[in-house]
Amino acid sequence: MSGEQERVQAAPEEVRPDLSPGRWLDTAVRGIRFRPDRAAVRQELAGHLEDKIADLRRVFPDLTDEEAEGRALAQIGDAAEIGRQLARVHRPWLGYLWRVSQVLLALCLIWYLGFNISLGDDGWPGGDDSDFEWWDFDGLPYDAGLIDWYRELYLPGDDPDQLLTLSPDLTTRIDGQNVSLLRGALWEEDGGARVLYLYLRVDSWKFWALGELEGDWLTITDDRGNTYGLGSEGPEDPVTGGLLSGLSGRGYGPFHHCYVLKLWGIDPGAERLRLDYGPAGPLFSFSVDLKEGAA
């Protein structure tokens, strides 16, 4: 006979408690005055009791439910004595102090967000920065002075120079952050040059680890073998000498950074454009269909 069997069989019948498991649990936790602690301790004790009852039934399959429960409770101990020990450990003021601190923190956070949102563009951390917004609600670049222009740029309209608008809504996940290509628009500028605008966003709830896109890491090619350079590697305005292609920030907030990618001189015969991003090899890639969309 195993040691466990001898120990269980040795439990004297006369010390088996008269309390049912439910009343035993109520008695054991009655002295814990902080309700969340009382519920958690009761659940833990109930699990411990169920384990003991299951062990007894496994060793002694002929035991009735009442016998198994009685022996298990006898092994655990007197409910009143256990209750006195638990009451000394679980002081109510500690629980209430923790709960009050949670409520105060939540109220401070609500006030802080509400106060700053009510200030609009003057709210921290944007200050007077017109590119600041708490979130990219409409999936468009944000600039308080140019918001109507961006809507005209990316949304279908009746301007004859607007050749195509796209809503690819492509998203990939890199290092816990979402990188999205949300919108595109193909326009014909003065002189017949085709210009493609693409709107990208990086977002993450982990604001402390929010990354930014680097234009130097972008490689843009089309299905005809053309490569489109950015910044100093792209085309220049023959009149002003300004850079015609590039990646620029257009809207940011605590949980997102947004960008407009402008590509000058798109080949009229190109049907597909590919964006590869990475310092050496691609960390992610997006493919844009230049023949499908609304105009």
Q: What is the percentage of the chain residues whose pLDDT exceeds 70?
A: 79
User: DSSP class of residue 126?
Assistant: T
Answer with the residue of higher pLDDT: 136 or 5: 136
Q: Tell me, what's the pLDDT at 10? A: 42
Q: What are the beta bridge partners of residue 160? A: none
Sorted by where each begins, the domain ranges of the chain are: 3-93, 147-289
What is the residue whose two structure tokens read 């015609």? 244
* Whether residue 56 has pLDDT greater than 80: yes
Answer with the residue of higher pLDDT: 209 or 200: 200
C-alpha to C-alpha distance for 187 and 205, rounded to whole angstroms: 34
pLDDT digits (tens, 9 = 90+) for 137-177: 888 988 766 667 888 999 999 999 999 999 999 999 998 89
Q: Tell me, what's the pLDDT at 196? A: 96
User: CA nearest 247: which of 197, 195, 189?
Assistant: 197
Answer with the residue of higher pLDDT: 86 or 10: 86
- Least confident piece of the model among 1-10, 73-82, 171-180, 232-241: 1-10
pLDDT bucket at 125, cuts 50 / 70 / 90: low
C-alpha to C-alpha distance for 25 and 31, rounded to whole angstroms: 11
List the CATH code of the domain at 147-289. 2.60.40
Q: Tell me, what's the pLDDT at 128? A: 55
228 contacts 167 by C-beta, under 8 angstroms: no
pLDDT digits (tens, 9 = 90+) for 248-271: 988 888 899 999 999 999 999 999
C-alpha to C-alpha distance for 166 and 291, rounded to whole angstroms: 10
Q: Tell me, what's the pLDDT at 165? A: 94
Q: Compute the half-sphere exposure of residue 82: CA atoms within 13 Å on the CB side of its CA.
A: 16
User: CA nearest 236: which of 204, 193, 201?
Assistant: 193
C-alpha to C-alpha distance for 105 and 95, rounded to whole angstroms: 16
Q: What are the beta bridge partners of residue 101? A: none
Q: Which two tokens stand for residue 122?
A: 């003057």
The three-point CA angle 83-84-87 to 5° equals 85
Question: Average per-residue pLDDT in the chain?
Answer: 80
Q: Tell me, what's the pLDDT at 274? A: 95
C-alpha to C-alpha distance for 133 and 249, rounded to whole angstroms: 13
**Residue 168: φ, ψ to 5°:** -65, -35
Q: Tell me, what's the pLDDT at 4? A: 46
* Whether residue 70 has pLDDT greater than 50: yes
